[in-house]
Amino acid sequence: MIVTDDPGLTRILETHRVIAMVGLSAREDRPSNIVARYLMARGYTVIPVNPAASDILGQRCYASLQDIPVKVDMVDVFRKAEDVPPIAAAAIAIGAKSLWLQLGIINPAAAETASAAGLDVVMDRCPKIEYARLVS
């Protein structure tokens, strides 16, 4: 289901606690790193997905979603919109519960594919901003 309402966003943020962050940067000044640190400070498990790094924020980094050895609740995407379709397919393949596309990232076709497979899908929003607005 495509989620745009506050109760749906709150439900995702309160129940999807293991987040695979695709495109997480090791650079502390990058938005992905800032978001990851914020979420980790609030008790989320953040799993970096970046083939160019071995670890980020003290967490082992994985080259792909399929390489992650634990169950993932949310796939949070910090990549260009045109990069999303294979990420959505991988999120489906690993049994993620949600696909969250960051601010400025909109891919209706990938969102529909993920939604049709049973994932909650959020587009063009940031979990850090929504957490601060809805949960904290």
Domain contains 99: yes
Q: Which two tokens stand for residue 79?
A: 């990549």
Chain position carrying tokens 């929003």: 125
- Domains held by the chain: number: 1
Give the number of other Cβ atoms within 10 Å of residue 102's Cβ.
Answer: 23
Structural domain of 114: 6-134
pLDDT in tens, the chain (136 residues): 999 999 999 999 999 999 999 999 999 999 999 999 999 999 999 999 999 999 999 999 999 999 999 999 999 999 999 999 999 999 999 999 999 999 999 999 999 999 999 999 999 999 999 999 999 7
Least Cα distance to 96 among 116, 68, 76, 75 occurs for 75
Q: Is residue 12 part of a domain?
A: yes
CATH of the domain at 23: 3.40.50.720
Burial of 11 (0-12, 13-18, 19+ CB in 10 A): middle
Whether 22 is in a domain gets the answer yes
Within a domain: 70: yes
Q: Is 1 within a domain?
A: no
